[in-house]
Structure 1
């Protein structure tokens, strides 16, 4: 059955057609996002939800979305999506961070020019029939120092455009490497130096606990007298009260704001102050940008629903369509390894350690980590998936570590998963054969070669005669057909294990018969999702 997507905001018809062309059943109801009650009634029918900013994907809506797998936000901001609720429910949240980058960067440069030359006020004055040429004395951008706070995608474009205007560009960004700074042609500085040196300051960072009020009263006081400030990123990055005071005192010569702490902004301390340019969050408001982000979100959601490819997800590692094809068997193996450990472990898990050996160590390890954790967590919560499992593990205080190494054994690659509890460590390793089928190759340090089936039986015992006969006879007498039988032992007469792949679920009476023989230390039925 084809996946079903609801478009509840105003996306372009071209974007909607992308879903149809990809074979996805799509309902285009661009005004539904504003009707919370009706949206809540119908959301359970859909695998995907495509939105802009009007639809509010609240915890209540997400919990009602029983089939939902992905939310696609056409645009960069996901303030209208409860990301934590989506992650717990296992719903991937995607955005389109690059579709409006050029538009937003151009708006920032336009705002900088407007405040440098007081264009809005001069335009209003001229429209009023005045000719106040001497009143609007501006400043040139050439040779001025531009301080860019946040030199990521949009900030990097602003740097490029500013250099083209012959400005000197300095940038503050904790994640900006010296190599990237050199590539951009900017000088990387600390925030205090930027504040002291910049003639213009432009912000291009997300709103987080660390960036909130990054231009605080204290930091605005550190700026160069006569500085002009531009914010086309997010409201809340600037203390608007402090900015208004600095504008009134003349310490800040001008400001250009496209975003505000409260939006829609019907009032602000900076409104109606001289040389303050304000626009209603127009950063991404061009025909090209709106079309680009709509097309991108349709393609991204279609890719995920049809191929498993994950792009620009905010709560899961991205996996390209090519990676999904190559990594599919390895992701399945990681899930199986986790499922084995999860079903075998009854006490609380303290730590998960994953070793990647050989060619698998060069793959998308974050995705493989998520698959392994998901396999573990499903033993106690069947509803978890690769999105929700890491969130649950973190909430439980489980630490995760991974190690990579070059090929070290007979296999080209393998994954070894170890969990640590207060009572023991438990480990299992597996690989993917050339036929694309995952196999278990080691349990508790004992080498084996076990095909993985839906219904399995795991036993531990001392290495004594009669184990194979007892298992075979008991299964046969009770109508349980054995598809595959694997044995392994640590040493002659030492600890031994058996792993049986059987055709049907093994009943409790059969398990009791095996336990009653006294030959086995443990008898554990296992179930694996091999679909």
Structure 2
């Protein structure tokens, strides 16, 4: 293989690559030069400077792998890479320890008022009484998101003799028990924690999930840290909470707008601010370089890299046969994951019709699991690691085959179970992905965009009530599908909407007569 190192990475990673293959280092290459020369390379290593655009990728005739020495892949067109059969890998584990340690630094800086005490001494002041702090020992740590980084923070806080309570709706109870933490709901964490740390992705669900209502629940002397993503904490609400002394303090490494120019938070003394440096250590950068070098070397030796962001390479014949159903399976997984109540414990996947005769359905099962896990984990989920990640979460997976495709050429049936619910959906590909059955009700649904599911009693007027309630909040319905078993029995409604349904509307819909359940989805 011939590899281009297009951005500055640690020399240890470059040395590893040079021991195995032909390496060109050009960390000042321009976009125009990259387009002109990328055809000569089998692999490329980037950080954030180099942009792997669609134009670059389509000019890369021989490119097999794009390796990002870091976590974020915003500078890589993943869709273009996938379409052209190019693997994209990153190094997510390289920063886990570094971010956890930075979180600890911010916890201590808040507890002992280190930042403002430092500034005071440098201003030639001696204000010992002003900087009375608190110990971490004996305090309760509240962790929102118990992934790689959250678990590392917990490990370190145990050394400070802290207790830990955790909110992670997708962490199995037995895994939490093994980690030595108490799993609970978000409000309980907010009410009882002395120190709160956030380690979740920024999604529609988590954006501004810590706002006025949440700050009102917190203790007056509580501290909160965010080293995850800007926007999870509502900064206006945080400013109010800090300026009115509703909480003890805060520390941020990430912001809604970066840099936080003219941000009112910078005027406060009870907040510690750092410039998005939680992942910036020599060790983390060295680790990232070594990890991506190992990924490229593994690929060169015919092995499968561990941290693949997109689809793995498959031969063209199989790719053409399976590609439509990869999308069907991922959509089915996401649809079911968002519809199921409770934590997924079991997943059953049945391949029907022509799909059952193919030799390799493994990739389809992994696509289902990717769809299930993608919206609930703070880790990069792909078709390579989805099976292992599902097993790590304690999910039991069963796969089967049948010739009976119920009138279709091919069909995929997925059923997921939690401790309190079961939900199934069946999908096929007819010019585009289609869901044709939901919980034994026949439907015809395109799983895409903003969606809504309601379970209700099939009596006159119920559909109208639901539509009227949505109309009150200016939620426009694009497509409606209904299914029922018998007249007057239980029925299901699936809507495709122009806009997402606000949470308060969901609550009001569930309160309607004859409406048993209502759920919003985003596919």
Q: How does 1:337-348 map to 2 (within 5 A)?
A: none
1:139 is displaced (CA, Å) by: 1.4
Q: How does 1:458-473 map to 2 (within 5 A)?
A: none
Aligned to 1:26: 23
CA offset digits 1:154-205 (Å, max 9, x no partner): 1101011111111111111122121221122111111111111111111111
Cα distance in 2 for residues equivalent to 1:423 and 1:47 = 41
1:104 is displaced (CA, Å) by: 1.0
Contact 1:353/1:418, CA 8 A, preserved across alignment: no
Q: How does 1:306-317 map to 2 (within 5 A)?
A: 306-316=301-311
Q: Please tell me whether residue 243 in structure 1 is matched to residue 225 in structure 2.
A: no
Pair 1:225–1:62, CA change in 2 (3 A):
farther
Pair 1:21–1:367, CA change in 2 (3 A):
farther
Cα distance in 2 for residues equivalent to 1:80 and 1:341 = 28
1:353 is displaced (CA, Å) by: 5.7
1:387 is displaced (CA, Å) by: 8.0
Give the number of the structure whose alpha-carbon radius of gyration is greater: 1
Cα distance in 1 for residues equivalent to 2:195 and 2:366 = 44
Q: Which residue among 291, 294, 300 is the counterpart of 2:289? A: 294
Cα distance in 2 for residues equivalent to 1:220 and 1:301 = 46
1:121 is displaced (CA, Å) by: 0.6
Contact 1:57/1:80, CA 8 A, preserved across alignment: yes
1:231 is displaced (CA, Å) by: 1.1
Q: How does 1:244-263 map to 2 (within 5 A)?
A: 244-263=239-258
- SS at the partner of 1:271? helix
Q: Please tell me whether residue 222 in structure 1 is matched to residue 220 in structure 2.
A: no
Aligned to 1:13: 11
Pair 1:308–1:80, CA change in 2 (3 A):
same
Aligned to 1:157: 152
Pair 1:337–1:109, CA change in 2 (3 A):
closer
Aligned to 1:324: none
Q: How does 1:8-87 map to 2 (within 5 A)?
A: 8-23=6-21, 25-32=22-29, 35-87=30-82
Cα distance in 2 for residues equivalent to 1:18 and 1:63 = 28
- SS at the partner of 1:256? strand
1:211 is displaced (CA, Å) by: 2.1
Pair 1:63–1:7, CA change in 2 (3 A):
same
Cα distance in 2 for residues equivalent to 1:195 and 1:185 = 19
Q: How does 1:53-132 map to 2 (within 5 A)?
A: 53-132=48-127
Aligned to 2:421: none
Aligned to 1:326: none
1:422 is displaced (CA, Å) by: 6.3
Contact 1:216/1:239, CA 8 A, preserved across alignment: yes
Aligned to 2:511: none
Aligned to 2:136: 141
Aligned to 1:484: none
Q: Please tell me whether residue 280 in structure 1 is matched to residue 275 in structure 2.
A: yes
Cα distance in 1 for residues equivalent to 2:402 and 2:300 = 29
TM-score (norm 1): 0.61
1:106 is displaced (CA, Å) by: 0.7
1:97 is displaced (CA, Å) by: 1.4
Pair 1:41–1:106, CA change in 2 (3 A):
same
1:424 is displaced (CA, Å) by: 4.3
1:221 is displaced (CA, Å) by: 3.0
Aligned to 1:470: none
CA offset digits 1:325-349 (Å, max 9, x no partner): xxxxxx87xx86776899xxxxxxx
Pair 1:83–1:220, CA change in 2 (3 A):
farther
Aligned to 2:393: none
Pair 1:193–1:128, CA change in 2 (3 A):
same
Contact 1:418/1:426, CA 8 A, preserved across alignment: no
1:426 is displaced (CA, Å) by: 10
Cα distance in 1 for residues equivalent to 2:321 and 2:404 = 11
Cα distance in 2 for residues equivalent to 1:289 and 1:135 = 36
Pair 1:161–1:61, CA change in 2 (3 A):
same
How many residue pairs align between the two structures? Answer: 359
Q: Any unmatched runs of 5+ in structure 1?
A: 320-330, 343-349, 356-362, 371-385, 389-401, 406-415, 428-531
1:261 is displaced (CA, Å) by: 2.1
Cα distance in 2 for residues equivalent to 1:145 and 1:425 = 53
Pair 1:304–1:216, CA change in 2 (3 A):
farther
Task: Provide the aligned C-alpha RMSD in A.
Answer: 3.5
- SS at the partner of 1:313? coil
1:54 is displaced (CA, Å) by: 2.0
Contact 2:351/2:411, CA 8 A, preserved across alignment: no
